[in-house]
Structure formats: structure tokens, C-alpha cells
Amino acid sequence: MAELINITVGSLLDRQAEKVGEKEAVVYPELGLRWTYKEFQSVCNQAAKGLMRLGLDKGHHLSIWATNQPEWLITQFATGKMGAVLITVNTNYRTRELEYLLSQSDTETLILMEQVRGTSYVDMLFEICPELNTCAPGQLKSERLPRLKNVILLGEKRYPGMFLWKDMIEMGAEMTDEKLYARQQSLSPDDVINMQYTSGTTGFPKGVMLTHYNIVNNARNIAECMNLTPADRLCIPVPFFHCFGCVLGTLACASVGATMIPLTMFEPGAVLNAVEQEKCTGLHGVPTMFISELNHPDFANTDFSTLRTGIMAGSNCPIEVMRRVTGEMGITELTIAYGQTESSPVITQTKTDDPIEIRVATVGKRLPGVEVKIIDPQTGKEVPPGVQGELCTRGYHVMKGYYKMPEATAEAIDGEGWLHTGDLAVQDEQGYFKITGRLKDMIIRGGENIYPREIEEFLYTHPKILDVQIVGVPDEKYGEIPIAFVIKKEEVQLTEEEVINYCVNQIAKYKIPAQVIFLDQYPMTASGKIQKYKLREQYVNQFSKKQ
């Protein structure tokens, strides 16, 4: 078992630079970029000093809005050294979501890409902060985002009011190594270092505060379940802005001195190339990613002989997909992990030597240092093995809380320190867990968590909508997709196209309902509660056949 250690993210990197300094730490096949652990440590130190020179102090909030760029990875470890809290921004966010996150998180510095897949991040930021047009870099005074001062752009083109990444790196030369060392020494493993936004049943995204202690120890336990060593080379095509990328991926590698092989964005052909070219021993992905790789034209001609392990997580893992991944890709030691952002994120995980039946049918056993119990949601009492209930967990991995949301924190973590996951589960006699459903109605679309209330809250702002219910329905490609059941206001005309167009550029594309169904009323309980499961059944029986 990986013993719990009291260490910061920055010191974890330093430890590996000392142990395996000449070994490759980071390889970007598509960019031709290679860093040893010593080189990567040096690059991260420069960035940390640059951030300090910009005026960022311990505990200041820095958001990053970018795909899996090298600068994202550098920022993860640079903040781990100089103590700013790294806030991860979903690359699918649009104007409304971005403004909410930057405002609620009290972000002082934003690092962003110019654009992704034709969507201009810069334009969206100028829409929220028109003051950038007339201010010097670092001098932003925004009416809508009063805390935001620094904007750092990843790219070469200069925009008003923004630093370039290279400016920040150059500024780091003015800061001494001694000052960085003193700052790093002043950090405590119990300091919050990472904040990830997750929506909840209230519909408003919540900033999950995670400490060095939370994520470093979780990463070490994850690496142990995979039997990761410095000899391993892990391909990471999952996004860094999720815990899957930045804890199960990069941090798990750094915890043992393994090589990180990230892809800037997921593309199945690029994954196959990276695995073969870099002789990867591990590969992460949500089920839809593995399905795309298995069905790619180059699959049959790809050499998978070096693959051994990896993690499939993010949504239910279909048995046929598991079998093909272990059989045809040779990932015989593939593991399954379960958890949530609030638990850093992994609570349970299968091990490399668990039989495939166990790895398909369960989400493994609890990680070392983690307590898990299944309770009756009505009484709160623990239930025996074989009985379904809500999965609760306690231990080193539980978040510090939701940022500036004490009531929501108290709702999630009870007085005895148990985090209530909202997931229904069953434990067997051997201590393996199966996830059987959700107390909440969360939808998992291809690994992306969608919270119906958030979309409902947004659609309630449409002038023609009286009521709306978002329900997850089965989908062959994504596992689940969101469907909107809408009741229109009286005597108005409203089309499906109008509703969907209303969402475009306001909420992330993956949250936009795949279909809009108009109803006169919803199925209700005697006490007046809407029965979403009946809407789901109605869709499966009636409406899905119309497609």
C-alpha cells in the first residue's frame, strides 16, 4: 500500500527530478517536445517565478482555459511550487459559464488559448471584459469581473490588455531562485492548490477545493493500483481540466517518475500513433474514446505490443468494450476507477490482477486510507453487503469544501466527515462495489457530467418556456444524452430549433439537449413531484422510435 505522505505538488516534482532526473518526464509526440524530469522541473521553476513576478501570492486564484497544452501542464506544477490555486476551466465553456466561473472563483489571473476548433476564447473574453481594449497588461479594471487583473495568452499574436506566455516566462528571470525556494517552503500540504468546478443539484457550478494532500496521495494510490513505475509511459488523451487528466494522468505519473505522453486534444488516430511511436505501456480513456480507437481505420495496423495498463472511467464501462480493449489492444491490466471531483477524485479502483469479470462488473475496492460505507438514504443507517444504498466516503481524499458555499458543503459532508456521493451502490462480501444508479439525476454523456438542473435553470430564462425538465436517455455513441421535455407558455409558438438555437454559444455544446419534446403536462407523484424516470420511459417507448 502507498503510505500517505505529507508533501506538496511542487516538492513531489522535485523529488522525482532528484531520483530519476535524466528520465523522460513529458513527451508531446505531435509537437516534437521532450523533457526529462530535470528539464521539466527547470521549466516549471521559471513559470513559477514568472507568476510570482506578476504579483501572484500564495492562495491567489489562477484559472486556465486551454486544451492539454504543454503550458497547462507547466502551470499545474508551477502553481504547485508557488502556491497559487489552479482553477481548471472546461474547454467547452461559453460566455455565460465562463463569466460565472471567473466571478464566483474570484479569479485574479486567467491563462487562455486564442481559440479551440474555430471558437474564439479571446472574443468571448473581450465580450465579458471590454475594458481589456484600453488597458495595459496587468492593469485590467473590469466592471463585471472586478478581481481579474492579469490575462496571459498562449500564442504569438498580441492583443490589447494581455500578456503573452513568453512575457511571463521572461519576467521570471527577474525573480531569484531563493525567493521561489522560500515561497515553496512556506506552503503546507493542507493548503488548497486545485479548484475544479462541478455542477450540483442546485444548478449552480460549485468550486471543489482540493489540497496538495488530497490529490498527491490519491494520485499515488491510483498509480499503485496500476502498478505504475518509472519504466511506464502513459498516454493521456483525456482532458487536463478533469481530475481524470490532471490527477489520474499527470499527477499519478509524477508520483512514481513515469513518463507522461499527453495529446493536446483527443483524436483517435493521434492516440494510435502515440501508443505505437512512443511505445506506451499505459492508456487512459472514457469508454467512448476507446470505442473510437477500436473503430479507427488505422487500428488493425497499429502495434499495441507495449501496452499493459491504463484506466477506463468517466461513465459505465460496457463489457464488450472492456473485452475488446483487453483482447485486441492488449491492455490486459486495464483498471476501472470510480469517484467524483469532491473525493480527489478516486474512491474505489480495480487492480491489475483482478479477474476481468470483477473489472467489468464492479468498480473495485476502496483505496488504501479511504473509508466507504453504504447507507439507507431514508434512515442514514449502514446497510449490509448485497443491499443497495447511497455510497458515502471519508478519509484523506475528501475535499476541503465548496468555495464560498458553506451550506452546499454541509449538505455534501456530514458532521462526522462523511462525503455523501449521491450515487447508489452495492457492496459484495469481498468488498467490491457496484454502482447501481444515482440519487441525483446526473447524466454522463461520453464522460462529461451533465447536471439537468443547470440546463433547466438556463432554459427557464427563455420567454416562451413555462416549464422544462432535462432527462438523460440511452444513446449508443455517448452512453447517455440530455433530452428536454418542454411545456410552452399558453398561446405561443415554439419550435425545437428555437430552443436549441437559444442554447448555442450560451451553454457548452455537450449540454445542449439532443432533442426537444413538447408536452402539456408531466407525470407526477401524488405529492406533486415530477417523475423523471417516467419521462425517460416515455422517451424510450415513444419518441426514440421517431428518430
CATH of residue 490: 3.30.300.30
Phi and psi at residue 358, to the nearest 5°: -70, -40
Residue 95 has pLDDT above 90, yes or no: yes
43-91 confidence digits (pLDDT tens):
999 999 999 999 999 999 999 999 999 999 999 999 999 999 999 999 9
CATH of residue 90: 3.40.50.12780
Residue 200 has pLDDT above 70, yes or no: no
Asked if residue 219 belongs to a domain, the reply is yes
In the prediction, which pLDDT does 221 show?
98
Q: Rounded to whole angstroms, how far apart are CA atoms 168 and 546?
A: 55
In the prediction, which pLDDT does 32 show?
97
In the prediction, which pLDDT does 529 show?
56
Residue 110 has pLDDT above 80, yes or no: yes
378-397 confidence digits (pLDDT tens):
899 999 999 988 999 999 99
Asked if residue 190 belongs to a domain, the reply is yes
Residue 204 has pLDDT above 90, yes or no: no
Q: Examine the domain organization and report whether 324 and 447 are in the same domain.
A: no
More confident residue, 119 or 456: 119
What DSSP string describes 29-89? GGGTEEEEHHHHHHHHHHHHHHHHHTT--TT-EEEEE-SS-HHHHHHHHHHHHH-PEEEE-
In the prediction, which pLDDT does 388 show?
86
Q: Rounded to whole angstroms, how far apart are CA atoms 229 and 409?
A: 36
Residues 6+ away with beta carbon under 8 Å from 341: 196, 198, 208, 210, 243, 399
Average pLDDT in the 311-325 region? 83
Confidence bin at 288 (pLDDT 50/70/90): confident
Confidence bin at 337 (pLDDT 50/70/90): very high
Of 301, 328, 355, which residue is a domain's last?
A: 328
Q: Examine the domain organization and report whether 468 and 324 are in the same domain.
A: no
Asked if residue 394 belongs to a domain, the reply is no
215-240 confidence digits (pLDDT tens):
999 999 999 999 999 999 999 999 99
Asked if residue 53 belongs to a domain, the reply is yes
Asked if residue 351 belongs to a domain, the reply is no
Asked if residue 399 belongs to a domain, the reply is no
Confidence bin at 377 (pLDDT 50/70/90): confident
Lowest model confidence (mean pLDDT) among 185-194, 222-231, 316-325, 477-486: 316-325
Asked if residue 350 belongs to a domain, the reply is no
Residue 20 has pLDDT above 80, yes or no: yes
Residue 524 has pLDDT above 80, yes or no: no
pTM: 0.85
Look at the chain and report how many structural domains it folds into.
2
In the prediction, which pLDDT does 467 show?
85
In the prediction, which pLDDT does 242 show?
93
In the prediction, which pLDDT does 503 show?
96
Q: Examine the domain organization and report whether 77 and 217 are in the same domain.
A: yes
Confidence bin at 3 (pLDDT 50/70/90): confident
Of 275, 304, 328, which residue is a domain's last?
A: 328
Confidence bin at 199 (pLDDT 50/70/90): low
In the prediction, which pLDDT does 450 show?
84
Nearest residue to 119 via CA among 198, 196, 66, 63: 66
Asked if residue 387 belongs to a domain, the reply is no
In the prediction, which pLDDT does 159 show?
98
Residue 201 has pLDDT above 50, yes or no: no
In the prediction, which pLDDT does 444 show?
86
Secondary structure (H, E, C), 372-422: EEEECCCCCCECCCCCCEEEEEEECCCCCEECCCHHHHHHHECCCCCEEEE
Average pLDDT in the 504-528 region? 86
Average pLDDT in the 100-104 region? 97
Residue 202 has pLDDT above 80, yes or no: no
The percent of residues above 70 in pLDDT, for the chain, comes to 96
Grid cell 483482447 — which residue? 327
Average pLDDT in the 157-183 region? 98
In the prediction, which pLDDT does 1 show?
63
Range of the domain at 54: 9-328
Residue 525 has pLDDT above 60, yes or no: no
List 151's β-bridge partners, or say none.
Answer: 110
Of 328, 352, 369, which residue is a domain's last?
A: 328
